[in-house]
Amino acid sequence: MPALTVDRAHGPGTSPVAEDLLTMLVLVAACLLAAGYGRGVQELWSRRGPGAVVPGWRATAFGAGVLVVLAADQGPVHAVAEASFAGHMAQHMLLLLVAGPLLAAGAAGLPLSLAAPLPLRRLLARCRVAAPVRWLRRPGAYALLAGGGQTALLWFWHLPGPYTAAVDRPVVHAAEHLCFLATAWLFWAPVLGAPRHRAPAPVTVLLLVGAMLPASALGAVLTFAREPVYPARVFGTDPLADQQLAGLLMWAPMDLVALVVALTVFLRWLLRMQRDRPDGLRGAGARRAAAPVAVKAETEGMVP
């Protein structure tokens, strides 16, 4: 494991003023997002009762997701990300595998819509009935586009050119993290979101496995490359070891999370099928068990 340095990974063109301004914008955006969600949840609970429509655990998950976003962008995590490529990759995994799923589990669509101004709500209502949006809202189509979008952006931002630009320019860096957070939120919505918007279990399993394989391939490329694929300034003291650790940080968590969630969804689907059709399953088994008895009864008394 490479030793982490205290030197900044950003290039000499980085402006502290620009970074401070972006930090303030992130804080303001997170506060507005949390306030809007809280306002929408309060509206729902005042109408339907506490815990209705949006259960308390979903509201807690959304709040935790906002906190993870802030933790990934500031504090010790940000300092480690500035010092090494592996730290930066850990920051990406926090956004993709922790913040994104938590925000998706919050089922924020309805609360944020209720918190929006009336003209914006009317515009959203008109958009929802448009033919392309109706097609996009189908769980299968939505899951396909969300999985493809996350995979494409994950590969794009880890190409040498875009990644180096993100390291050197705070605005590009913020855009990179926004892309990761938005695509992760959209990707996990049909898996962990409100039940009415979830994709069917077979589609969900295919979505998770299909997104896992390209991410694993990218992690493998970084892990087994014989030389660093990025400029030396983005690494710690040992560039090749730093890159290999970063590849493992992408490879192992992505595979583990996708496989665990896919297996959980598949097993719950089987249990639900068994629960919904127990009589049919028992009836088929009873018919198979009774068939030899019936044949035996018919052959009794026959002379060979």
pLDDT(13) > 90: no
- Helix H or strand E encompassing 30: helix 16-48
Where residue 21 falls among pLDDT bands split at 50, 70, 90?
A: confident
Query: What is the Cα–Cα distance from 107 to 189, expressed in whole angstroms?
Result: 8
pTM of the entire predicted model: 0.82
CA gap 216, 285 in Å, rounded:
42
- Alpha-carbon distances of 10 from 19, 21, 22, rounded to whole Å: 11, 16, 15
The 10s digit of each residue's pLDDT in 190-248 is 899 888 878 888 889 988 998 899 999 999 999 999 999 999 888 888 999 999 999 99
Summarize pLDDT for 117-153 with one digit per residue, the tens: 888 888 888 888 888 888 877 877 888 888 899 999 9
How far apart are alpha carbons 50 and 187 in whole angstroms?
28
* Burial degree of 110 (CB within 10 A; 0-12, 13-18, 19+): middle
pLDDT at res. 279: 61
Q: pLDDT value at position 65? A: 95
Residues 6+ apart with CB under 8 A from 89: 245, 246, 247, 249, 250
**Residue 104 pLDDT more than 90?**
yes
User: Which class for 22: exposed (0-12), middle (13-18), buried (19 or more C-beta within 10 A)?
Assistant: middle
* Mean pLDDT over each residue of the chain, to the nearest integer: 84
Quote the DSSP letter at residue 98.
Answer: I
Give domain limits for the chain: 16-276
Chain centre distance of CA 10: 27
**What's the pLDDT score for residue 14?**
54
